[in-house]
């Protein structure tokens, strides 16, 4: 079986870890290939080093190196490099990078400078974290550097800041007027991305931010068409519980693009390719008329543990199986 998932950071990483946990117990011995297409829209260059927050969160989470409490970064981290950079007056000082984490960025930057594409670098990082042994391939959505900027209004004046500055430094407290993803129009999908969507048996959308994670991946030319055209059922997990994200600022991101912070509205963003949609009981959503996509399943969506995430992933796979015939009929929409 081939499963392809589009993923942002913490929510995506925890869902994929749950998926692997589910597969291990529910389908022992079966060869399942999981391809994760990771968001690189919030990548940033700090201190001259290329940082890919979402890819790293997935690597650290699947590799057992993540700081569980934070959901990102490395466990047992120290901050000697960052402290010394602060002593040197290097900017910015609002982005926390631990020492082990720095090594990832140094390694990535060195290989990028040597001419390796990000996908090749990510494959090497994946090997360090044992992804191949888990049947997982992590692909960046694109090898083209893209950066998300947020147009904010402050004191009556509009200006654009890097997404990470908005997200991390200001904790999304500045009103976001819109998101501009520099380079996205001209970004080519990384090698294997479109194929992984087209040839998958199941495509999953983990509970990632629909605007600045999944939404950015969908903006890579060709990805949305591949999702519309794939014969695999596409099943998503709502990132909202009771209209609010479990973590992060999906509600504020939705507001910025003029979309209501409801699971129904998020499903609407995926309407042209979504076959199934998992919604938390706490999230109000009308059942769609019979026969229309997506099929709804209500179940608790709080990934409070690896086991809870595994159960959610199992439910997503079950829903996908029940919708497997949809795509075969017309050969895509």
Q: Applying CB under 8 A, which of residues 33, 71, 75, 109 lies at the interface with a copy of itself? A: 109
Length of the chain, please? 333
84 scored as a contact of a copy of itself (CB under 8 A): yes
- Computed over its alpha carbons, how large is the radius of gyration of the chain? 19
78 scored as a contact of a copy of itself (CB under 8 A): yes
80 scored as a contact of a copy of itself (CB under 8 A): yes
Q: Applying CB under 8 A, which of residues 29, 69, 89, 289 lies at the interface with a copy of itself? A: 89
Q: Which strands form 295-298's sheet, in the order they lie side by side?
A: 136-140, 33-38, 2-7, 202-205, 234-237, 276-279, 295-298
297 scored as a contact of a copy of itself (CB under 8 A): no
Cα–Cα distances in Å, from 113 out to 148, 177, 182? Answer: 22, 35, 21
E strands, the chain, where? 2-7, 33-38, 44-46, 49-51, 136-140, 147-154, 157-162, 175-182, 202-205, 234-237, 240-241, 244-245, 276-279, 295-298
Q: Applying CB under 8 A, which of residues 25, 64, 70, 128 lies at the interface with a copy of itself? A: 128
Q: Applying CB under 8 A, which of residues 33, 71, 75, 81 lies at the interface with a copy of itself? A: 81
Cβ–Cβ under 8 Å, residues 135 and 33: yes
Rounded CA-CA distance 278/180 in Å is 29
Q: Looking at 123-131, 179-187, 219-227, 290-298, which segment touches a copy of itself (CB under 8 A)?
A: 123-131
Q: How far is the CB of 45 from a copy of itself (least distance, A)?
A: 9
Q: Tell me, residue by residue from 38 to 77, as one string, x for binding to a copy of itself by CB under 8 A and - for no binding.
A: ---------xxx---------------------------x
Q: How far is the CB of 47 from a copy of itself (least distance, A)?
A: 5
Question: Considering beta carbons, is residue 107 or 268 the nearer one to a copy of itself?
Answer: 107
Question: Considering beta carbons, is residue 117 or 243 the nearer one to a copy of itself?
Answer: 117
Half-sphere exposure of 231 (CA within 13 A, CB side): 8
Phi, psi of 329 (to 5 degrees): -60, -60
Q: How many residues of this chain bind a copy of itself (CB under 8 A)?
A: 30
Q: Applying CB under 8 A, which of residues 4, 104, 137, 209 lies at the interface with a copy of itself? A: 104
Nearest CA to 169 out of 89, 58, 57, 91 is that of: 91
100 scored as a contact of a copy of itself (CB under 8 A): yes
Rounded CA-CA distance 44/26 in Å is 38
* Angle of CA points 16, 22, 27, to nearest 5°: 125
Q: Looking at 96-104, 249-257, 261-269, 306-314, which segment touches a copy of itself (CB under 8 A)?
A: 96-104
Q: How far is the CB of 53 from a copy of itself (least distance, A)?
A: 17
Question: Considering beta carbons, is residue 84 or 287 the nearer one to a copy of itself?
Answer: 84
Q: Looking at 124-132, 198-206, 255-263, 283-291, which segment touches a copy of itself (CB under 8 A)?
A: 124-132
> Where do contacts with a copy of itself occur on this chain (CB under 8 A)?
47-49, 77-78, 80-85, 87-90, 98-100, 102-104, 106-107, 109-110, 113-114, 124-125, 128
């Amino acid at each position: 079986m081939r499963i392809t998932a589009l993923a942002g950071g913490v929510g995506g990483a925890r869902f994929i870890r749950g998926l692997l946990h589910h597969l291990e117990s529910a389908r022992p011995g079966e060869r399942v290939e999981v391809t994760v297409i990771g968001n690189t829209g919030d990548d940033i260059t700090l201190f001259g080093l290329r940082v890919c927050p979402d890819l790293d969160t997935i690597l650290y989470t699947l590799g057992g190196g993540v700081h569980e409490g934070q959901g990102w970064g490395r466990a047992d981290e120290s901050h000697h490099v960052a402290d010394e950079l602060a002593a040197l007056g290097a900017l910015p000082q609002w982005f926390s990078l631990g020492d082990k984490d720095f090594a990832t960025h140094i390694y990535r930057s060195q290989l990028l400078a040597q001419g390796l594409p990000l996908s090749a670098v990510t494959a090497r990082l994946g090997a360090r974290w044992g992804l191949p042994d888990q049947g997982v391939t992590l692909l960046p959505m694109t090898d083209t550097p893209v950066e998300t900027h947020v147009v904010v209004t402050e004191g009556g004046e509009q200006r654009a800041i890097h997404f990470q500055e908005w997200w991390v430094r200001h904790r999304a407290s500045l009103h976001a007027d819109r998101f501009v993803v520099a380079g996205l129009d001209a970004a080519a999908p990384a090698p294997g991305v479109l194929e992984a969507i087209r040839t998958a048996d199941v495509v999953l959308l983990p509970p990632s931010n629909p605007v600045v994670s999944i939404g950015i991946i969908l903006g890579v030319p060709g990805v949305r068409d591949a999702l519309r055209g794939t014969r695999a059922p596409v099943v998503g997990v709502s990132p909202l519980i009771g209209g609010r994200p479990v973590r992060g600022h999906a509600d504020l991101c939705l507001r910025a693009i003029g979309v209501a912070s409801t699971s129904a509205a998020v499903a609407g963003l995926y309407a042209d390719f979504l076959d199934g949609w998992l919604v938390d009981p706490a999230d109000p959503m009308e059942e769609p008329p019979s026969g229309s996509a997506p099929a709804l399943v209500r179940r608790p969506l709080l990934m409070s543990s690896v086991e809870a995430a595994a159960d959610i992933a199992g439910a997503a796979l079950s829903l996908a199986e029940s919708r497997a015939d949809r795509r075969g009929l017309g050969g895509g929409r």
